[in-house]
Amino acid sequence: MRRALLAILFFIALIAIWMAVVRAKIWSPILLPSPGSVAEYLGSAFRDGTLLQATAVTLRRLLLGYFIGLAIGLPLGLLTASSKFMEDTIGVLALGLQTLPSVCWVPLALLWFGQTEGAMLFVVIMGTVWSVVIATDTGVRTIPPIFARAARTMGSGPFHRWIHVILPASLPYLISGMKQGWAFAWRSLMAAEIYVTILTGFGLGHLLHYGRELNAMDQVIGIMLVIVVIGLLADKILFSPWERFLHRRWGTGRV
């Protein structure tokens, strides 16, 4: 209770500082809108449906790309961890491509797929896959070999061992990899939506982009807030339950 209260106080203070800076008129209100006008924009965008629609479009792209990225990245990571050949080929490729900011994929995506959903999806998947591969690989490599030995003496065959020992044993790494993958997917999608204008649906990135074109800073800041809040919610809803499970079972982290 006390923690929640302190957190609320912190954010009220943040908004108060923002208002004070606006009042001080250091920057023109066109560059720095007041919290009130941002709230006003969000209210009207919510009422006329643009905000909800854009959020839905963005989330659909994000989830689709993210889960395809996971579906590719997890098995690839298992492969790179279990075969020297895959480690020297796919492993090195993943390590290299992971350092590539996902916005760098946008020009290529535009040329290959045109201004389509496919281009969006491609950028998100490329942003997700490599970090998932590397997290899975690390996770599998850090498993104490005694787990697999113990399982073998109990009659666990190779396939059973992958499902019931290797994967659950690397769960702490898998979760942090999935979390990182999620953050990368979110970033790549925003980059894609800002750069790629397509007619099959306006996402949050497009609203941000048009806000800039129209010099509507209340829209820009409002959409940024929405993006931050979605990121926070995703963390709380998608990953927190898993992390709580890990803390409880493994006894790691906070007690």
Please count the other Cβ atoms lying within 10 Å of the Cβ belonging to residue 210.
15
For the bound state, the minimum distance from the C-beta of residue 172 to another protein, rounded and expressed in Å, comes to 9
CA distance 204 to 208: 6
CB 68 within 8 A of CB 121: yes
For the bound state, the minimum distance from the C-beta of residue 152 to another protein, rounded and expressed in Å, comes to 4
Q: Which residues contact 250 (CB under 8 A, 6 or more apart)?
A: 172
Measured from the CB atom, the residue of 49 and 144 that comes closer to another protein is 144
Q: Which residues bind another protein (CB under 8 A)?
A: 144, 146-147, 149-156, 160, 164-165, 168-169, 171, 248-251
Measured from the CB atom, the residue of 27 and 245 that comes closer to another protein is 245
For the bound state, the minimum distance from the C-beta of residue 41 to another protein, rounded and expressed in Å, comes to 47
Measured from the CB atom, the residue of 172 and 222 that comes closer to another protein is 172
DSSP characters for 96-112?
Answer: HHHTS-GGGHHHHHHHH
For the bound state, the minimum distance from the C-beta of residue 109 to another protein, rounded and expressed in Å, comes to 38
116: left (phi over 0), alpha (psi -120 to 50) or beta: beta
CB 32 within 8 A of CB 22: yes
For the bound state, the minimum distance from the C-beta of residue 178 to another protein, rounded and expressed in Å, comes to 16
Measured from the CB atom, the residue of 236 and 249 that comes closer to another protein is 249
Measured from the CB atom, the residue of 23 and 254 that comes closer to another protein is 254
DSSP characters for 22-40?
Answer: HHTTSS-TTTS--HHHHHH
For the bound state, the minimum distance from the C-beta of residue 151 to another protein, rounded and expressed in Å, comes to 7
Measured from the CB atom, the residue of 141 and 152 that comes closer to another protein is 152
Nearest in space to 138 (alpha carbons), one of 173, 166, 172: 173
